[in-house]
Structure 1
């Protein structure tokens, strides 16, 4: 009886972590739609990511100070690892993604970002000797097949710089996968919330330094009202909320599973794109969406 209760408790914790990863991925994926809307105001990736981080910074700073005061100090090596993760996972990855979105469609960007779970699984297999079960492989194959159906029509909609944009977003997927797997090892010692708060503060500093190198400070105060409104939405709902949800999910279900669950996020932008960017929804896209959701269901059946 005790064993049954214990297994049921673990199953509920796993499904809860899976749900957190899915919700976080949906909010996080919305940043592509927000970026496309902001680009209509003739701003570039440097402005988009800088405003995003400036608006998000106070929320992360409050959490960072709270954690620093309420928990024991970290080892110097951990501070160094957090700094590297902040630069790679939230600064470099996000900047490459926003930069690539200037040259390719949101649909093609979503397709490329679907390589992230593959990178995570390969890194975990090669460097951490993690066994990849058949359910994880099956979930990945089903979800990728659905992704191709959902996004195939976007492959022919890229601009003249589609190769450049694709390479930039590919770099974003790779660097974020390194962040995910590395954070999965560090989060057990540091804690999910503390790690996110510290790493995002590092990322904000990097973004601001970059802005002052490439732009003049006055440019931050002369944008249209819509730019600031979208930036605020981007910071709260596409940055602060999803990164905390993702980190908690990684702590509960592991980085590879959390990354695979995130496959549902980019597909959700199919409907957001239709509502906000006037992108059409076809029967093939709906079929692909159903396949991606089937992949998530397969993950939920994973034995723990």
Structure 2
């Protein structure tokens, strides 16, 4: 009589590790795709386009996917209050419009590897916001993690400064501003996501961001600026589908399987993949200084994530 129960338990114990492996694989693929955004942007800049057009094409081409999810959520999910919609609008402008725009602006001046490492500091910025705005204490191990990570950024920044000149200061500041904007978005979504849901929040916020990007383009550029080569549209489609839409849903699927802490730690593959993709595709140099700095940044963020857990 116990045989069916034992067989079921054996099947369950075998399925759980497999499910976890699938979740970690999804998280790793999502991290690589997210990071490849910088590589695609660098390739687009070689065609003479600017950050305004790069961001607009990315958001417009990704918008149908998120609009479909938003429409489905609007019909089937519980209704939201006006306050919720207002918060989503503000957070959408901060997290997916301003953050993305500053990021693409900064990529015109710094390497893809440095850009990804600066953005990887976002959890540390969230911690600093919590300490200054919410008066939360920073523990000793968290200070150690911050010092290690920012020392790594200094090392990589020094290398880019040698190769890229004074523009690296501007690019680094813009990308760091992008990380701050996204950290504010993450901080603001803490309470909202429990009421709205992560899928609906992302879909609505992306729709708000797309509207802002289109409005910005119409104000700053003539409509004729859309007359670009097929290569630009092809790269932009890759940017929209493989570096925006797909990693968002892969990350959600990974979180459902293994949880947010494991997905966060798996995301450390992102900066590493950017360094080597930059060397392979963009001919960006890979030096010992850059590898040491990258190791420090990822080590610092790993210490921070372990401490939070």
Change (3 A) 1:202 1:303: closer
Q: Could you say which residue in structure 1 is the equivalent of 2:202?
A: 196
Shift of 1:219: 2.4
Shift of 1:160: 4.3
Q: 162, 168, 175: which is aligned to 1:162? A: 168
Shift of 1:124: 2.3
Task: List per-residue Cα deviations over 1:128-150 (Å, max 9, x = no partner).
Answer: 45565666555555544555555
Q: 148, 166, 182: which is aligned to 2:188? A: 182
Structure 1 SS opposite 2:164: coil
Q: 243, 246, 271: which is aligned to 1:241? A: 246
Normalising by structure 1, report the TM-score: 0.80
Q: Could you say which residue in structure 1 is the equivalent of 2:57?
A: 51
Distance 1:223 1:263 in 2: 35
Task: List per-residue Cα deviations over 1:159-184 (Å, max 9, x = no partner).
Answer: 44333333322221111110111123
Shift of 1:283: 4.0
State yes or no: 1:113 paired with 2:154: no
Distance 2:231 2:63 in 1: 20
Change (3 A) 1:214 1:284: closer
Alignment map for 1:1-304 (pairs within 5 Å): 23-128=29-134, 130=136, 137-149=143-155, 152-220=158-226, 222-244=227-249, 252-253=259-260, 262=267, 264-291=269-296, 294=299, 298=303, 304=309
Normalising by structure 2, report the TM-score: 0.79
Distance 1:226 1:107 in 2: 23
Shift of 1:117: 2.3
Shift of 1:107: 3.7
Shift of 1:195: 0.3
Distance 1:170 1:156 in 2: 19
Shift of 1:275: 1.1
Q: Work out which of the two has the higher radius of gyration on C-alpha atoms and give 1 or 2.
A: 2
Q: Does the CA contact (< 8 Å) of 1:101 and 1:109 recur in 2?
A: yes
Q: Could you say which residue in structure 2 is the equivalent of 1:3?
A: none
Change (3 A) 1:152 1:114: farther
Distance 1:64 1:271 in 2: 36
Size of the aligned set, in residue pairs, is: 291
Distance 2:109 2:291 in 1: 26
Distance 2:39 2:271 in 1: 10
Change (3 A) 1:207 1:74: same
Q: Does the CA contact (< 8 Å) of 1:21 and 1:258 recur in 2?
A: yes
Unaligned runs of 5+ residues in structure 2 are 1-17
Unaligned runs of 5+ residues in structure 1 are 1-11
Change (3 A) 1:276 1:63: same
Change (3 A) 1:169 1:147: closer
Change (3 A) 1:148 1:20: farther
Distance 2:298 2:42 in 1: 25
Shift of 1:21: 6.2
Change (3 A) 1:300 1:176: closer
